[in-house]
Amino acid sequence: MELWFPKRVYVEPGALDYPLGKALYQRFRADRLPITMIPGHNRVLGVPGHTAREAYREGKETLVIGVKRTFELESCRPSADFQFPLVTGCPAYCQYCYLQSSLGRKPYVRIYANVDEILGAVGEKIKERAPHITSFEVASTSDPLAVEHLTGSLRQAIEFFGRQRYGLLRFVTKFTNVDGLLTADHSGHTRFRFSVNTPQVIAAFEHRTPPLDERIAAAKKVAAAGYPLGFLVAPLFIYDGWRRDYHTLLSRLAAELPEVPDLTFELIQFRFTRRSKDIILDRFPNTALDLDEGTRQVKHGKYGQAKFIYPDEEAEALRAYLSSEIQRFFPASRVLYFT
């Protein structure tokens, strides 16, 4: 799959005070891309598009280079103790993505230039909680590997955590440009997880992402480089033949990765909110996603927002079947959670 490059770039002036921001500005200027200076990374105007769908697609072609100004670390349960961003947004077109609602009308990709300051705040949190081991998720608001060929900041974070006695890093990706991370000095402190699903789900809903076979090939490289490895099987869908298709998925993973130590799985069922449903239908009016609220039950998130999830009986069927199949194919692995 070709690496992503933007069609247009917006730059917050303060980003030019940092090596990454300056290097990206010079690179895109040499490439003759349209560059617009903006007063702040939340002040992006002029992205083309007359309809919601057009604005979404053009937003996905837009890069904003900004400065992260707040360093308060939010909880990230059940994935990790805390989360921090190097990037927000993602160039992929996954129809179900929860960023549909959290990023709303701003689907552009934003890179933070002040990586050292972000990691400095992380380091302070690690020191504050030592000797307790503190884990951090760096892919809650993005897929940082999707733009790693532009930033190098994920490798910088991996090597930073490689030096942390009491800190662990986690991230998840659908992308496969892993070669630049294979030689990073990770010291086993970064868990590299791949988001996987059945080929049917990937083809229907995960547009502009690598196919399953490329993700498996990348996972094999990562395992060979000594990274702790995991799979995020998400989102889980119930449809005609779902048991057969998830069985085939896990069978294929087992055939390709038969003896990976300390392998982990995370299982997340499909869910949506009314806001995300409206945005999805604006952007993908012909979507095959099942967004029927009448067949779901309501779960309230930590901020009180109502999420529509599978009823308990159906959710339990997903959890029990996937957990059983994982145990059968990967008896030494761990299922970290189902949600």
Which residues, in sequence order, are CB contacts of 273 under 8 Å at separation 6+?
A: 101, 305, 306, 307, 308
Q: 276-279: long-range contacts at Cβ-Cβ below 8 A with a sequence spacing of 24 or more?
A: 276/98, 276/100, 276/101, 277/308, 279/52, 279/100, 279/101, 279/104
The DSSP letter of residue 126 is: H
The pLDDT score that the predictor gives to residue 67 is 96
Answer whether residue 169 is part of any domain.
yes
Examine the domain organization and report whether 108 and 228 are in the same domain: yes
Examine the domain organization and report whether 96 and 152 are in the same domain: yes
Answer whether residue 260 is part of any domain.
yes
Which CATH number characterizes residue 12's domain? Answer: 3.40.50.12110
Examine the domain organization and report whether 181 and 266 are in the same domain: yes
**Structural domain containing residue 44:** 7-67
Examine the domain organization and report whether 51 and 153 are in the same domain: no
* Rounded Cα–Cα distance for residues 251 and 249 (Å): 5
Which CATH number characterizes residue 322's domain? Answer: 3.80.30.30
Amino acid of residue 127: K
β-strand partners of 173 = 194
Last residue of a domain, one of 34, 49, 67: 67
Answer whether residue 1 is part of any domain.
no
Answer whether residue 2 is part of any domain.
no
Residue where the block lists tokens 């294979």: 182
CB atoms within 10 A of CB 321: 15
Examine the domain organization and report whether 157 and 185 are in the same domain: yes
Following CA atoms 245, 246, 252, 255 in sequence, which dihedral angle do they give, to the nearest 10 degrees? -140
Considering its fold, how many domains does the chain have in total?
A: 2
The pLDDT score that the predictor gives to residue 301 is 73
DSSP 195-262: EE--HHHHHHHEETS--HHHHHHHHHHHHHTT--EEEEEEEE---TTHHHHHHHHHHHHHHHSTT-TT
Q: How many helices and strands (H and E) does the chain possess?
A: 11, 17
Q: Is there a contact between 228 and 186 (Cβ–Cβ < 8 Å)? A: no
CB atoms within 10 A of CB 195: 22
Examine the domain organization and report whether 90 and 158 are in the same domain: yes
Q: Is there a contact between 217 and 157 (Cβ–Cβ < 8 Å)? A: no
The pLDDT score that the predictor gives to residue 104 is 67
Examine the domain organization and report whether 186 and 250 are in the same domain: yes
Examine the domain organization and report whether 232 and 300 are in the same domain: yes
CB atoms within 10 A of CB 35: 16
What pTM value is reported for the model?
A: 0.95
* Rounded Cα–Cα distance for residues 33 and 27 (Å): 9
Which residues, in sequence order, are CB contacts of 31 under 8 Å at separation 6+?
A: none
Last residue of a domain, one of 67, 97, 115: 67
CB atoms within 10 A of CB 255: 10
Examine the domain organization and report whether 124 and 269 are in the same domain: yes
pLDDT tens, N- to C-terminus, the chain (339 residues): 799 999 999 999 999 999 999 999 999 999 999 999 998 767 788 888 888 889 899 999 999 999 999 999 999 999 999 999 999 999 999 999 988 777 766 789 999 999 999 999 999 999 999 999 999 999 999 999 999 999 999 999 999 999 999 999 999 999 999 999 999 999 999 999 999 999 999 999 999 999 999 999 999 999 999 999 999 999 999 999 999 999 999 999 999 998 899 999 999 999 999 999 999 999 999 999 999 999 999 998 766 788 999 999 999 999 999 999 999 999 999 999 999
β-strand partners of 72 = none
* Rounded Cα–Cα distance for residues 244 and 262 (Å): 26
* Rounded Cα–Cα distance for residues 114 and 74 (Å): 19
Q: Is there a contact between 49 and 56 (Cβ–Cβ < 8 Å)? A: yes
Helix (H, G, I), strand (E, B) or coil at 278: helix
The pLDDT score that the predictor gives to residue 76 is 94
Answer whether residue 145 is part of any domain.
yes
Residue where the block lists tokens 């998400």: 234
* Rounded Cα–Cα distance for residues 186 and 11 (Å): 31
In the structure encoding, which two tokens stand for residue 129, read together?
């909680």
Answer whether residue 135 is part of any domain.
yes
Last residue of a domain, one of 30, 45, 67: 67
The pLDDT score that the predictor gives to residue 45 is 82
Examine the domain organization and report whether 97 and 189 are in the same domain: yes
Examine the domain organization and report whether 33 and 86 are in the same domain: no
Examine the domain organization and report whether 40 and 160 are in the same domain: no
* Rounded Cα–Cα distance for residues 281 and 98 (Å): 14
How many residues can be counted in the chain? 339
